[in-house]
Amino acid sequence: MALKPGDSLTTNNFGIQIDGVMVEYLQEVSSLVVEQDVIESKQVTSSGKHVIAKLPGAQKSGECTVTRGATQETEFSDWIKKSVEGDIGSARKNATIVMMDSQQNPVKRYHMRNAWCSKVEISSLKAGDAAALTEQITITFEELVIE
């Protein structure tokens, strides 16, 4: 069933696309952050009144952290490897976090332009533990477009 006007998206069904191709469904996306400079303009009117206006400035680059199960899938892993090895020319890709409704239809996208992996952290390894191995990947990007 498609979302009705006023329905909120649920947070349990999402994945990541690299250059438009869905490569991985994720366990978690956190800290998807992009900032913009704020310009404060102070003026005095002809009547002597102080006026303060805030204007949007330049957008800053951003980053987010994604968590995935450590799998044998290669496309996402190869992207991470290129970044870690410093092959930024090949590692810079357009990545998109895609939110889906309950019927797997894309309903919202967060496009990250010129994205690459700046950090990889694996979950704890403990002998005798019955837990899935996960990877947390920090993705750095130059511009965020929300669709």
Check residue 104 and give its pLDDT: 83
Q: Domain ranges for the chain, please list them.
A: 14-146
For residue 1, is pLDDT > 80?
Answer: no
Report the share of the chain in percent with pLDDT over 90. 65
For residue 90, is pLDDT > 80?
Answer: yes
Q: How many Å apart are CA 24 and CA 76, to the nearest integer?
A: 7
Q: How many Å apart are CA 147 and CA 136, to the nearest integer?
A: 25
What's 14-146's CATH class? mainly beta
Check residue 3 and give its pLDDT: 66
Q: How confident is the model at residue 102 (pLDDT cuts 50, 70, 90)?
A: confident
Check residue 55 and give its pLDDT: 94
Check residue 131 and give its pLDDT: 87
Q: How confident is the model at residue 74 (pLDDT cuts 50, 70, 90)?
A: confident
For residue 140, is pLDDT > 90?
Answer: yes
For residue 30, is pLDDT > 90?
Answer: yes
Check residue 13 and give its pLDDT: 85
Check residue 71 and give its pLDDT: 81
What does the buried/exposed string (b/e) look like for 13-40 if buried means 16 or more CB atoms within 10 Å of the residue's CB? Answer: bbbbbbeeeebbebeebeebebeeeeee
